[in-house]
Amino acid sequence: MGSNFVPGYLELLESGELHRRVEALRGMLGNCRLCARRCGADRSAGGKGACGAGSGLEVSSACVHTGEEPVLTGTVGVGNVFLAGCCLRCVYCQNHEISRPDSIGDPRRKTTPEELASVLLDFREKGCPTVGFVSPTHYAPQLVEALASAAERGFSLPVVYNTGGYDSPELLELLEGIFDIYLPDVKYADEKYSAAYSGVADYPRVAREALLEMHRQVGNLVMEDGVAGRGLLVRLLVLPGDVSGTADTLEFIARELGNDVYISLMSQYYPAYVAAEYPPLDRRLLPGEYAAAVEALERLGFGNGWVQDPVASPDNYLPGVDFSI
């Protein structure tokens, strides 16, 4: 990033507030309420949350990822850290091998915050313009601890909080000023679908409250030299049969946050995991279904962000390759 941008976590580190936040976040593990399930598990004493996670940190993979939005990748790629486990139960999860609660516990994935800090520094050395934590909610305390350690060792890149949108208000309050880029993947506008396909009936309310709070914290996306430095970028995966209620979500964003918000409208859905048992999620997205979402985007006046080609997108398409606005 250019010299005009200073990540918020560096300012918090200098004041000592970042380490106080780490302690406060760690305290949430004793009666876990990081995600909106608020399962109350005592993860600090050996218990496991509804997500399957305990007190440790499990990283499934860490790699330079070019298949993301151009403002995150630049010319090199975003340094993505993929976490094991998830607080949602999406029947179509494309990462189900690592996201299910029973996938947690692989000793090969166990990582300390210090080890993760070294990974972040390595991403910097590789020239990544940003670093992203993917599915971070249930590991937020450990991730912020790793970020603090990396910052003490000279790390200064923008960090992306790439979440499924089911973060508790208590967690987001403690994250203010730490993450400059929020990347929520908003999945549903109707609770009957979120209950049936992701196991949480209150998802629409929680995700919309999270959007409001994230936008309050960081505002609209701002860039230097074409790379995001701060702000909110909302991903919307269009699901078959209008299960996602994409137009409703766009109307909410336009009404509450304005149509200057950056939107990444994704067409890459394919029926992974057990989606074959849940029509209409047992099929690919039809071009006409995606076209209706694009029409809503245009009708509401959104002019910032990216759309995709639903015909050209292959089964395992990763976002970013054919985005345009």
Which pLDDT score, from 0 to 100, does residue 167 have?
A: 98
Burial (0-12, 13-18, 19+ Cβ within 10 Å), 7? buried
Q: Is 261 left (phi over 0), alpha (psi -120 to 50) or beta?
A: beta
What's the pLDDT score for residue 310?
67
Q: What is the pTM of this model?
A: 0.93
CB 45 within 8 A of CB 30: yes
pLDDT of residue 325: 41
Per-residue model confidence as pLDDT tens digits over 138-193: 999 999 999 999 999 999 999 999 999 999 999 999 999 999 999 999 999 999 99
CA 288: distance to chain centroid?
Answer: 27
Q: How far, CA to CA in Å, does 26 sit from each of 32, 93, 146, 245?
A: 10, 28, 12, 36
Give the length of the chain: 325
**CATH number of the 8-306 domain:** 3.20.20.70
* Domain limits, the chain: 8-306
pLDDT less than 50: residues of the chain: 1-3, 313-325
Residue 9 confidence (pLDDT): 98
Q: What is the pLDDT of residue 315?
A: 41
